[in-house]
Structure 1
């Protein structure tokens, strides 16, 4: 296994259905997986999904959802696996995209932005701010507004995309542990209920 400089698995690009199926089969066996998306939304009501990032114990994957012939069914299956917690930060737009694509929300959602609010880190805290507060790491947000529909993806874009799910693992574990100690996990569950309701994301 290759390891990045930060100590996380080196990111790999996934652009074939077979590779995606193998990746998702591994991740389904894990207690949680970190997830993020990159998309463009300039010309359509619904966002156009360009990249999905997945982080596991031994996998950091950047899925090229625009790759010709790629079938996202293995990803849908992973998202529907109740035993694996799906960890997001500021999940609303990600969930909206998945609901539109698969006509179902992911099961077992955990949003670190919601958990951070419950844990006293402030309302709507940004990912880079939360990562810095919990891990001390600095996130380079230079590519936040990249054109994610352009191909090929640059090395810098891939590194940026990977960082959105690697540090999120440490953030999740810390927040979950802190909320357990504070006996506030049920508070977070109550706040997350709205994200588990498809009606939240339907157009009026």
Structure 2
């Protein structure tokens, strides 16, 4: 049961067609100008969505942008043919932009010059309201009593021309997004959570782009199986070669060579082309095409000087994994357990996921390195420095300080 009212109608109605039909895809300067004019004259919030080609193409660029606004209708824009949407962005600069799971779409929208100033995230609103399932299709069905077909979410949206049924699906994704926003907005008001949501939305918009990862090859799936630095060097060299080939060919790296192939090669350290081709994961068409490059990468790793080998691990910022705390710092482990219990109780009281009540990383860092003197004020300041929102601090600082102080007072730490 959610905190919000159960507004699902008794009979769920399939949402099969956009109200004005499937709009033509905007692929020209003239078409984009007409769209800008229409959305300038429109009224109210603007529903926005973007489709990517994750798993097919390199990177996360948008291959279709969908919008809808009262008085303007819906628009489907091809951002490959129209790569600069800054004029459209300016036309709706004063409008609230409605997205679902905004953090997924904001980076690719920014790449084409569309940067919301105000936002409403229907997925995040659903989390704060305590909805157990917050996918767009489920939210539309639960809140509005309408059923969206979600069959093309993992499609290759770089396909041209896009099939009509894909375009229908894309247009329907923004068809009732503003209506969903309106109901959730009212539920946030009724539950006293609107200010919390608005603070969350503003924080997401203000978040800077994520910095490049250091040693991204260390995120290769299965790397925990690799136990020595020479084998780690093979992972690094194969990953780097794969990334270069994927970037140049605009192909998702996993389609060039699966992670499983990289890990197996690191473990077996093949010396010959035959030994490499005997590894099952190297038998795919794309992997075979670049067999010489893979063998060169393995050979390069095998012949590196010891000084050129990677470190066994990269020291991470912040505390170690929580499962190591009892051995590394038993007192910190007790603080973490107490803090997690506090956050879980608050999340249950306010009927939302614990990670939305307070970011898990903030809890870990607070309890690994707590303030020298525990008080409501010092805990609040520490949480603020860790990126907690003011509404989160208002809820959590006092009970967290109380729990940590209790541990010290009882001499448990």
Out of 29, 44, 48, which is 1:35 matched to?
Answer: 48
**1:128-178 residue CA offsets vs partner (Å, 9 max, x unmatched):** 110000111111111111111111111100110011101212111111122
**Matches of 1:200 and 1:116, distance apart in 2:** 25
TM-score (norm. length: structure 2): 0.44
Q: Classify the secondary structure of the residue corresponding to 2:202.
A: helix
1:88 alignment counterpart:
99
Distance 1:53 1:134, change over 3 A: same
Of structures 1 and 2, the one with the larger relative CO (CA 8 A, separation 6+) is 1
Q: Report the CA distance shift for 1:100/1:6 in structure 2 as closer, same or farther (over 3 A).
A: closer
Structure 1 unaligned blocks of 5 or more? none
Match of 2:153?
144
What is the distance in 1 between the residues matched to 2:116 and 2:211? 15
> Whole-Å Cα distance in 2 between the matches of residues 21 and 202 of structure 1?
34
Residue number in structure 2 paired with 1:171? 180
Q: Shift in Å at residue 5 of structure 1?
A: 6.3
Shift of 1:202: 4.2
The structure whose residues are more often strand, as a share, is 1
Instruction: Kindly indicate whether the alpha-carbon contact (under 8 Å) linking 2:85 and 2:112 is maintained by their aligned counterparts in 1.
Output: no
Closer/same/farther in 2, CA of residues 66 and 125 from structure 1, 3 Å limit: same
- State which of 66, 75, 80 in structure 2 corresponds to 1:53: 66
Cα distance in 1 between the residues matched to 2:173 and 2:98: 11
TM-score by length of 1: 0.84
For 2:53 and 2:18, how far apart are their aligned partners in 1?
30
Question: C-alpha deviations, 1:20-75, integer Å up to 9, x for none?
Answer: 2222233244221100001124442x3122100001124111112223x6643323
RMSD: 2.3
Separation in 2 of the partners of 1:121 and 1:78?
A: 34
Q: Is the 8 A contact 1:40 1:147 kept in 2?
A: yes
2:66 is the counterpart of 1:66: no
**What is the deviation of 1:89?**
0.3
Q: Is the contact made by 1:99 and 1:198 (CA closer than 8 Å) also made in structure 2? A: no
158-167 vs 20-29, greater mean Cα deviation? 20-29
Task: Provide the secondary structure at the position in 1 that maps to 2:77.
Answer: strand
In the alignment, what sits opposite 2:131? 121
Q: Which residue of 1 aligns with 2:206?
A: 197
Q: Relative to total residues, which structure has the larger helix share, 1 or 2?
A: 2
The separation in 2 between residues aligned to 1:62 and 1:201, in whole angstroms, is 28
Q: Distance in 2 between matches of 1:172 and 1:23?
A: 23
